Chain A
Amino acid sequence: MVWQHRTTVHKRQLAAEFSAAARQGVTLLMSIDANHAKEDFQRIIDDSTGDFKSQLSAMSGLMAKQAEESKSSSKATVEAVAVESLNDNSAVVLVAAKSDITNADNTIRPPVVWRISVGITRDGGQLKMSKVDFLQ
C-alpha cells in the first residue's frame, strides 16, 4: 500500500511536470511576433527534441521569413491541458489553445481554438516537445 501510494504521488508529480512543459511548449510554438520571428523560432527549437526538432530546424528559416514578410503576429493562450498517457521520460498531453492573430494593418482576426496533441520527452534534464499534432 505504501509503495502504491508512492507511485500515485510520483505519477501526480510527473503529470504536473509534463502539463507545465506542454503548456509552455505550445505557448512558444504559437506565439510568433513578426518583429522578432527568428528569435521566436530559435526559442521553439531550443524547447524541442528529436525528429520534431530536426524538422523545425530545417524549416524555421523559411517560416521566420514568411512571418516577417506577412507582418502579422500571433499570440497563444492555453485554455486547457490534460495528460493522456505518461511514463517517467515521456508523455502525450492534449492541449486546447487559442490563437489571437494581429494582421499587418493592426486588425485582429477572430480567435481560433486549436486541438493539439503534444508529445513531451525528457532530453537531458529538460522536458521538450518531441511531436506536435494539430487535430482536425
Chain B
Amino acid sequence: MTVEHGSSLDGVETTPSDEMAPPIASQGSGSANGLATIKRGIRRCLASWRSIVATVVVVTAMGVSASLFFILYRPDQQVGDAAAHRAIQAASDGAVAVLSYDPDNLDRDIAKAKSYLTGDFLAYYTKFSEQIAAIALQKRVTETAKVVRAAVSELHSDSAVVLVFINQTATSREKPEPQTTASIAQVTLTKVKGSWLISKLDPLA
C-alpha cells in the first residue's frame, strides 16, 4: 500500500513538469491553459483521493481487527478453555497446599500454602496457620489432601469460582491409622498480576 501511495504521488509531481515544457507553444489560448489547469487539478485530486481511500481502508481494517482483538478475542481468551484449565489448576494446587501439612515441615508447608493465597483469605490463613502448626506439632498430625474432581462454576476475566472435591487423609500420634474424609471446597480465585490466587475457600462439607 505504501509503495502504491508513493508512486501515485510521484505521478502527480511528474505530470505537471511534463506539461510545463510545452506552455510556450500553447501560450496563445488562455482557455486551453485554464482547462489544462482544471484537468491537472482533477488528476491531482483523483491521485490523492486514491491514496486517501487506500489509507482509510488500511486504517479502518487495522482499527476493526484491533477492536475485534480487544473487544472479542482477548476477553474470550480470558474465559476460554485454557483459562479455565489454569483456574482449575490454581484452585486444586492451592486447596491441596492449604489442607496438607506434616509436623516436620510446617514452616515450608505453610509458606507454600501462602504462595497460593491473596487478600482476606491470606490474612485469615496467616492468623489461623499458627494454631494449626501448634496442634500439628503437639499431636503430630499429618494431613494429606488429594483432589478427586474439580470443575469451573464461574469464569470471568479477573475472577473465578472452582468446585473442588477433595479427599483428606489424616494421621496423628493418637490415631496412627490413616483416616480419610470426603470434603468439598468452593474456591474463589482472583487474578493478581496475570495469575490466579485463592481469595476465598468455603468448605461445603
Contact = CB atoms under 8 A, between A and B. Distances in A.
B184 A5 contact: no
Contacts of A114: 205
B163 A8 contact: no
B65 to A, nearest CB: 8
Contact of A135 (B65, B162, B165): B165
Interface residues of B, number: 23
Among A80, A81, A136, max chain B CB count under 10 A is at: A80
A83 B68 CA distance: 28
B184 A1 contact: no
Counting chain A residues whose Cβ lies within 8 A of the other chain, the interface size class is 20 to 34
A16 B27 CA distance: 82
Interface string B175-189: 000000010101000
Contacts of B73: 1, 4-5
Given A82-B153, A84-B151, A113 B205 contact: yes
A80 B68 contact: no
B79 A115 contact: no
Interface in B143-188: 148-153, 161-163, 165, 182, 184, 186
Contact of A81 (B65, B69, B76, B153): B153
Contacts of B163: 80-82, 94, 96
A117 interface: yes
Given A117-B149, A135-B165, A1 B204 contact: no
Contact of A5 (B72, B149, B150): B72
Interface string B64-94: 0100110011001001100000000000000
Contacts of B186: 79-80, 96
Interface in A87-134: 93-94, 96, 112-115, 117
Contact of B79 (A8, A83, A94, A135): A8
B204 A80 contact: yes
A48 to B, nearest CB: 22
Interface of B: 65, 68-69, 72-73, 76, 79-80, 148-153, 161-163, 165, 182, 184, 186, 204-205
18 contacts: A1-B73, A5-B72, A5-B73, A8-B79, A8-B80, A12-B79, A79-B186, A82-B152, A83-B151, A84-B151, A94-B149, A94-B163, A96-B205, A112-B205, A115-B182, A135-B149, A135-B165, A135-B182
